Amino acid sequence: MSLVYFLALIGVLVTIHEFGHFAAAKLLDFQVTTFSIGFGRPIFRVQLGDTDYRLGIVP
């Protein structure tokens, strides 16, 4: 069960880290076309405004 908790924690930390990049780009007035957690084929995808939000199959 510890491995499951570890992987969940890594997922949360990666999400926070990537959101930091996203927030910095927005604050500096960069156009953010894609915000993705993970890579590879998206298992979830939504377009809001000019940004394509994705959850990749590989974390």
Band the pLDDT of 7: cuts 50, 70, 90: confident
DSSP code of 38? S
Q: Is the pLDDT of residue 59 over 80?
A: no
Q: Is the pLDDT of residue 46 over 90?
A: yes
What pLDDT does 13 receive?
A: 92
| Dist CA 8 CA 23 (whole Å) | 22
Q: Is the pLDDT of residue 29 over 90?
A: yes
- The structure's pTM equals 0.74
Q: Is the pLDDT of residue 53 over 90?
A: yes
Q: Is the pLDDT of residue 1 over 80?
A: no
Q: Which residues are catalytic?
A: 18
